[in-house]
Structure 1
Amino acid sequence: MQRRHFLVSSAAAASVVAAPSLVRAQALEKPKVSIAVGGKNLLYYLPLTVAETLGYFKAEGLDAQIIDFAGGSQALRAVVGGSADVVSGAFEHTVNMQSKGQRMRAFVLQGRAPQIVLAVNRKTMPDFKSVADLKGKKIGVTAPGSSTNVMANFVLAKAGLKPSDVSFIGVGATSAAIAAIRQGQIDALSHLDPVITILERAGDIRVVTDTRIVAEADKVFGGPMPAACLYAPQAFVDKHPQTVQALTNAIVRADKWIQAAGPREIIEVVPEGFLLGDRAVYIDAFLKSKGALSPDGMVPEQGPATALRALASVDESLKTAKLDLNAVYTNEFAKKANAKYPKA
């Protein structure tokens, strides 16, 4: 723990010395910014944690307050309701919100594949043969309406099942999800690491679809499916461009640091509570998910269309919706961040 504290403190101090937060704050429209996230402990949001722990937000002159919720849909509601400024959440929410008349824009990517795994409970479904067997079953998700719910809906739709053919149950992002599987409260789980790896290593689940593997995610969704990102109402982006740039700089630095880091370094910067009591499992989960994390914060051009197809598979109204997909993201901030921080 002393080494962990030294590493984190030294990195944060070095960042602040290199770029004094007081000087940076003078150029920011909103130096104190709140970020809502659904399940901060998940590897899905590792860049957010790294940016916070290593002092990257502070180095950009930001006082970033991170508010953790049980799922991404709840984090989104916090921003829509005005109790937070920015969402650290799933990219597809930007598309879905535009269809509802609310303009949200993603400005830096944390994950280039969803990292979500759909798995069945070996205890309650020992004879599972195909996704069609999930009809009438209970499926656990982080929170109803979250990206884990969307992913499950998409896989079900490809098997000819509607969302109403199953029961979705919110199980949160940590130990409650593990308990729900082990106690037989749910028949399947759409979730992320480290929860999935813990259950997988213990033999509690059987993996059906694994989007931690980029190639499999591209196959499942028919193209690149952007995952975790920072997004905000368009009005916030327009009013606070320097603040958005600072947030982007911090996340891009974290993205690059993660790609260059080894498991030991990751363990030293991640809060102890995120490890769920087993460092070896967390390292295993990190290695499985690392390839699905963004290396540079850039949203792929085909990403918005992929996200729309996924959403439209479970929402008929989106098949005919007139949407401006170029308005749900921008890479301009990430391009500048990459120019400023070309290396980890």
Structure 2
Amino acid sequence: MLHRRTLISASAVAAAAIALPRVFAQQAKLEKSKVSIAVGGKAAFYYLPLTISEQLGYFKAEGLEVEISDFAGGARALQAVVGGSADVCSGAYEHTINLQAKNQFFQAFVLQGRAPQIAVGVSTKNLAGYTGIQDLKGKKIGVSAPGSSTNMVANLVLSRGGLKASDVSFIGVGVAAGALTALRSGQIDAISNTDPVMTMLEQKGDVKIISDTRTLKGTEQVFGGPMPAACLYAPTDFVLKHPNTCQALANAIVRGLKWLQTAGPGDIIKTVPETYLLGDRALYLASFDKVRESIATDGLVPAEGPKTALNAIASFDTAVKADKIDLAKTYTNDFAKRAKDRFKA
């Protein structure tokens, strides 16, 4: 009996010895296990996949120790990566185009959102008699942070109404309680922001929505095609030097996207931090229902998406020359494809 137990123990040890190197080898493949991610307004639904992947331990499951730093807007999060204090940015895809126009090469490697989820609304108090875009001339427009995607959408709406960015004043208000306060207190006349902020303002009658990209249909109307939105992107050099790390990050996000496809309202409430609800669970969930279809399903950047983004930016930003941008260098679907296959997303 003892002999048999010894044999079993020896077999178990041998099996463990064979299995363990594989586990460690898998972890050792990560060129960088500690990764810092900068995000601009983590509480917004725009970045819900990032929060879900973090809260459910999907980054840890990939052998990653992820530190997420939250900034007032995407432009500030980008500055952290450009400045070297963060490795990866969880931000808007179009930043990769703007950066390339400045001869800085960044690459998106997993998509979180397939619509910008940004709505533009005018204050029903400050602009009660609003009739059209021209009424915004000389007014203050709240955005998450100057230079962020909320700013970009506002610029696009203004340009289509015959106004330039210089015809208004942009004020950074964040994407949470500060944005609500700025609009309701009359500090700003209009706002370009994400959910849950916009739905909360809309349902309380504080704003009149004049442009909406929270749905795929609305995005098509505003941009004329599919518009990639939130993604993980990093300097191209980082992606090239850390392919296994980027794969692990993409795996975690795509796993989060798959979870979100079947998650119910109760699942969301249990998973996100209480502060994200902004004191109103019902409105938070109403916001989630509104933007749910705009969340990416498999992490892949749609084929026509980059061109849609480039055309939109070039239409109002003279610094971006469409014929000078190499879109193929702004993103890769290689990591997301592997993650999609692995998790059947």
Say yes or no: TM over 0.5.
Answer: yes
Percent identity (aligned): 59
- 1-side partners of 2:157 and 2:337: how far apart? 33
Taking the aligned partners of 1:112 and 1:269, their CA distance within structure 2 comes to 22
Q: 2:189 aligns with which of 187, 195, 205?
A: 187
Cα separation, 2, equivalents of 1:201 and 1:224: 27
DSSP 3-state at the match of 2:324: coil
Higher mean C-alpha displacement, 22-31 vs 128-137:
22-31
Change in CA separation of 1:183 and 1:246 when aligned onto 2, cut-off 3 Å:
same
Aligned position for 2:149: 147
Q: Quick check: 1:311 aligned with 2:313?
A: yes
Does residue 1:323 correspond to 2:325, yes or no?
yes
Secondary structure of the corresponding residue to residue 313 of structure 2: helix
Matches within 5 A, 1:204-243: 204-243=206-245
Who is 1:284 aligned against? 286
Residue by residue over 1:113-160, the C-alpha shift from the partner in whole angstroms, topping out at 9 and shown as x without a partner, is 000000000000011111221111110000000000000000111111
What residue number does 2:170 align with? 168
d(CA) in 1 for partners of 2:251 and 2:320?
A: 33
Contact 1:23 1:61 in 2 (8 A): no
Q: What one-letter code is carried by the residue in structure 2 that aligns with 1:248?
A: A
Task: Return the alpha-carbon distance in structure 2 between the equivalents of residues 267 and 131 of structure 1.
Answer: 37
- For structure 2, the 5+ residue unaligned runs are 1-21
Name the TM-score, length of structure 1 as normaliser: 0.92
Question: Matches of 1:156 and 1:66 in 2, distance apart?
Answer: 33
Q: Secondary structure of the equivalent of 1:52?
A: helix
Supply the AA of the counterpart residue of 1:215: K
Instruction: Tell me the equivalent position of 1:51.
Output: 53
| 3-state SS of 2:116 partner | coil
1:96 counterpart residue number: 98
Distance in 1, matches of 2:90 and 2:246, equals 13
Q: Which residue of 1 aligns with 2:267?
A: 265
> 1:191 aligns to what SS in structure 2?
strand
Structure 2 residue aligned with 1:332: 334
Deviation at 1:201, TM superposition (A): 1.4
Greater Cα offset, 217-226 or 145-154: 217-226
The answer to whether the 8 Å contact 2:49/2:257 transfers is: yes
Structure 1 residues 100 and 288, CA gap change in structure 2 (3 angstroms): same
Give 1:319 shift.
Answer: 3.3
8 Å contact kept, 1:111–1:292: yes
Equivalent residues of 2:310, 2:322 under 8 A apart: no
In the superposition, the TM-score normalised over structure 2's length comes to 0.92
Tell me, what secondary structure is at the counterpart of 2:66? strand
* 8 A Cα contact 1:134 1:166, kept in partner: yes
2:38 to 9, 27, 36: 36
**Which AA in structure 2 matches 1:149?**
N
SS at match of 2:108: strand
Shift of 1:318: 1.8
Distance 2:23 2:323 in 1: 44
Paired residues of 1:105 and 1:327 also in contact (CA < 8 A): yes
What amino acid does structure 1 have at the position aligned with 2:79? R
Contact 1:256 1:296 in 2 (8 A): yes
Q: What count of residue pairs does the alignment treat as equivalent?
A: 324
- Contact 2:313–2:320 (Cα < 8 Å) also in 1: yes
With 223-232 and 23-32 compared, the bigger mean Cα shift is at 23-32
Contact 1:24 1:60 in 2 (8 A): no
CA RMSD across the alignment: 1.2
- Report the 3-state secondary structure (helix = DSSP H, G, I; strand = E; otherwise coil) of the residue aligned with 1:155: helix
- Amino acid of the structure 2 residue aligned with 1:236: F
SS of 1:66's partner is strand
CA distance in 2, matches of 1:133, 1:227: 28
Which residue in 2 is equivalent to 1:296? Answer: 298
Task: Check the 8 A contact 1:21/1:59 in 2, yes or no.
Answer: no
Shift of 1:25: 2.5
In structure 2, what is the Cα distance between the partners aligned to 1:38 and 1:24? 31
Higher mean alpha-carbon deviation, 314-323 vs 64-73, is at: 314-323
Q: For structure 1, list consecutive stretches of 5 or more residues without a partner in the other structure.
A: 1-19
Partner of 1:81: 83
Given that residues 212 and 222 in structure 2 are in contact (C-alpha distance below 8 angstroms), is that contact kept between their aligned partners in structure 1? no
Pairing partner for 2:118 from 116, 119, 123? 116
Deviation of the 1:321 alpha carbon: 4.7
Q: CA deviation at 1:24?
A: 4.0
2: CA distance, partners of 1:285 / 1:241: 35
Partners of 1:218 and 1:224 within 8 A in 2: yes
Deviation above 3 Å: which 4+ runs of structure 1? 20-24
Partner Cα separation in structure 2 for residue 191 and residue 21 of structure 1? 44
Listed one character per residue, the Cα deviations across residues 292-313 of structure 1 (whole Å, up to 9, x for unaligned) are 1101111011111111111112
Q: 1:316 aligns to what SS in structure 2?
A: coil
State the 1:23 CA deviation.
Answer: 5.9
Distance 1:242 1:146, change over 3 A: same
**Pair 275,22 (structure 1): closer, same or farther in 2 beyond 3 Å:** farther
